[in-house]
Every structure is written in C-alpha cells, then in structure tokens.
Amino acid sequence: MTKTSLDKDLKKVVRFEVATHDLSRSLAPMGLGLLFLVAVLAFTTATATDTPLSLYVIAAGVIGGYMALNIGANDVANNMGPAVGGKALSMVGALVIAAICEAAGAILAGGDVVSTISKGIVTPDPAMQVEDFVLVMMAALLAAAAWINLATILNAPVSTTHSVVGGVLGAGMAASGPDIVSWPTMSAIAASWVISPVLGGIIAALFLGFIKWAVLYREDRITAAKRWVPVLIGVMAGVFAAYLVTKGLKRVWKPSSEILLLTVVAGFALGWVGSQRWVATRAALIENRRKQVSTLFVLPLIFAAALLSFAHGANDVANAVGPLAAIVAAAETGMAAPAKVNLPLWVLMVGAAGIAAGLALFGPRLIRTVGEKITRMDAIRAYCVALSAAITVIFASGLGLPVSSTHIAVGGIFGVGFLREALVNRGIHRKGSKKAAKAMPEAVAAAAEPTGEKLVKREQKNERRRLVRRRHIWSIGAAWVITVPAAGLLAALLFLVLRLFAGS
C-alpha cells in the first residue's frame, strides 16, 4: 500500500512536534535557572546594606547564586547517586531529601568553612584598596562558576572546591603577587585533597569488611543482620547528633564535653533501639540470601544519604558564598582585610537556595551517572560509600577545610571496589557464600550455588563486575591537575578585565 502525500506530511509534522518537545524540555531547566538568578537579583537588591559598594554586593550575589546552581548540578550526584544506584530511593525521593538536607546543612552549619574560603586563603595587604579586594573575590567566584558550568556541560568530573580555591588563588596573585597567598593554609587544603579521598576509601572499605564479616559470611545471615544493622544505624545517629550539637546549634548553645558525650550516647541509643523493630519485621519476611539480606540496609542507606547531603551543604556552601561573604564584609567595613567576616543569613540563604535549585533542575542525569555507571551498586555497598563520605566531609568541615566531596565519594567507591576485588582474588567471598548456604533449605541452596561450568562462568562474570572501572582514575586525576590552574588562570584574566572596566 503506497503512502499518500498527506501521510508523509503528517509524519513530518509529528517528527517536528517531537523534536520541538524534546528541545523545549532540554531548554526548560536553563530558563528556570535564569528565573532563579533574576529572583536572586531582586532579593539581593532588597536585602543588601546601602553602602558605596552596594552595586558590587548585588552583582556578587547574582554570581554567588550562579555558582550555587552549578554546585547543586555537579555535586549532588555524590550524595544521592549511591542511594539511587542501590535502588533504595527513587529519583524524586532522592531530590526531595537532598534539597531539604542540603539547605539545612548550608544554613545551620556552613560557618567555619565559609571563613576559610573568604579570608583564609589570601591575606590582603592592609594597603590594598577595598575595591581591588572586592574585584578579586568577584573574579574568583565568576571564574569558578564558569569553569564548573563548562565542565558539567562536557561531563568532566571536576571539583567545585578545587575550582573556587583556584579562583581565589589566581585572582589574588594577579592583584598583589604571590605574597598575598597564605601558603600554610593552602598547604593544609592541598593535603586535605589527597588525604580525604584516601580516608573516605579506607572508611568505606572498613564498613564493608565489617558487614561482610559480621553478616554476609555468617551461616545465619538474618540473625546476624538483626543484631548488627541496628548498631550501624545507632553509630550513624550518634555521629549526626554530635555534629548537629557542635556545629549546627553552636550559635545558640555551646555544650560542655559531658553534655556532648551524653548527646552522642543518646543519639546512638535512639538509633539503635528505634530501628530494631523495623529490622525485625523486615527480617521475618526474607530468606537467608545475600540479596534478600541487603534489603535490610535500605533504611540506614537513606539515613546515610541524608546525612551526607547535610554535610555537603555545610561544607560546599562555602564555595558559593565564601567570596560573597568577604565582599559583603569589605563593603560594610570599607576595609580590604576586615578583622572578622560576618555571615548574614541572606548570604547563606542564597547559597542554600541555589544548591537546591541546581540539583532539582540539573541533577538527575549526573545522579544516574554516579549511581549506575562507575560501578555496580547494591544497598550494602552504597551504604558504606555514603556513610564513609558523610563522616569524612563532616570531619573536614569541623576542621574548617574545604575538601572535595566529589573525590571523597569516588574514594569511597574505589575503597569498596578494591576490597571486594581483594576478597574475590583470595576466594574469601566464595567461602563465605558456601558457609552461609548451609543454613538454607537444600533446594534453595542448590539454586543459589551452581556448580561446574555454570559456576565458573558466573564467578568470572561476577569478578568483572566487582572491578571499579579503572579509566575513572585517569579522568579524576586529570581533573585534579587541571582544575586549580585553569580556574586560577581564568580568575586572573577576569580580575584584570574587571579592574580595567572599574577604572582602578
């Protein structure tokens, strides 16, 4: 049957409508992002203090919002990717939890790291003009935001923290030479870039090793899980309680050491006791298989992801509003190096709102990439990665070090992967599986433990899946090497351009 001209024309119209619809969907996040920046402009104009440098503050507020959007688009995958990849959360659920926890962490506990970014990296000469200092921070913020935006478009794994630190470093050196840089602070920050992913990998491997030894390699996995899963939830609750008391509530209450210890114990006990009934109820409905037992880790994984988002908001809000806080302080005091950098609530609100908006508009694609394409995840592995990253970021934030959550999370993934690889090579996982199979009914054990050629093929296939893709080592390493100098060079050029236009 031949097609009429009308049929052909209708198909062309349909294809055009589909293409238009796809294009509109791809452009919609960009349009909403622009609307967010317009809202930040209006909010900053209405909120900023009236000073001779008010226009600089307003412009810096918009740039800070732009930076926060990019942080939300780029870094949220590190927080929720493992949970989504481990099938513990849907994409919508991950976005909602991440938005709430990111904003709460930024507003409640973002102070210490903001101080490091805003005035710890560079130490301006007292003779520096305040306008020059403001332009240094503006150039640093804009350069970091532009670099992250470009890298995100190219799917390059860069660190937002490296970008802003490189921007401050480059713009500061362009303004006053290398003497303006606080090299001891930079050395500590650089050391944290190396230490934090290694620490994240070690913690993740230790958690996974403990879970394998205490639960998965036992003959009765269900009984072991009923004993240890609530304990793991209690540990996480205790860590969160300690951080909330020492950091989140420090503006209104500073507890003694005894009260802090009591808070940790209470958090542990509440998490431990409160989760026992849920674990026991779920355990009564599952079989003594690894895949079934891993469902008991869904709840702690959700808590770990929420804790990681809170810690990420506390740590990475500095990348968006640290230079903005320095600009506000300089504009209000008229000094290039104010003795104290205050943190107005509206500054933290800009950073928190921008991170939440960025993850909602641009985060899902990167969440899928981290959660599904780097290595195969289940609830247990994802839990280890998420909790390890949360503890490491919280530790770094407590020390005031702006570490990269990207590299901490990837370090955790590599830690889990290398541990599993070592166990595979030594055949330990097979011994554990056979030992646990003894507690199964014979029919179930026979189906779960194939023999002969089928067993060989399955073991080879599983071994390949257990390996983290090595090529990510090179891409991450390249990002580490390139990001700081690239952001620094761009910031130096932007500073010279801004100073030229400002007539300084």
DSSP state of 466: H
Nearest to 158 by CA among 51, 84, 73, 255: 73
Residue 270 pLDDT greater than 90, yes or no: yes
pLDDT tens for 431-487 read: 555 555 555 554 444 444 455 555 555 555 554 444 556 666 676 667 777 888 899
pLDDT tens for 194-230 read: 777 888 889 999 999 999 999 988 888 999 999 999 9
> Are the CB atoms for 94 and 84 separated by under 8 Å?
yes
DSSP state of 3: P
pTM across the whole model: 0.75
pLDDT band, very low/low/confident/very high, at 496 (cuts 50, 70, 90) = very high
CA distance 11 to 227: 62
Of residues 504 and 280, more confidently modeled: 280
User: Cα 63 vs. chain centroid, distance in angstroms?
Assistant: 21
For a pLDDT cut of 70, what percent of the chain falls above it? 70
Nearest to 421 by CA among 466, 471, 457: 466
Residue 498 pLDDT greater than 80, yes or no: yes
pLDDT tens for 87-104 read: 788 888 888 888 888 778
DSSP state of 4: P
Burial of 186-213, coded b for 16+ CB within 10 Å and e otherwise, reads bebbeebbebbbebbbbbbbebbbebbe
pLDDT tens for 137-189 read: 899 999 999 998 887 777 666 777 788 888 988 988 888 888 777 777 777 77
CA distance 400 to 423: 36
Q: HSE (CB half, 13 Å, CA atoms) of 156?
A: 18
pLDDT at 66: 92
pLDDT at 443: 44
- Residue for token pair 């992801």: 305
CA distance 141 to 163: 9
* Residue 1 burial class via C-beta count within 10 angstroms: exposed 0-12, middle 13-18, buried 19 and up: exposed
* Residue 441 burial class via C-beta count within 10 angstroms: exposed 0-12, middle 13-18, buried 19 and up: exposed
CA distance 332 to 355: 26
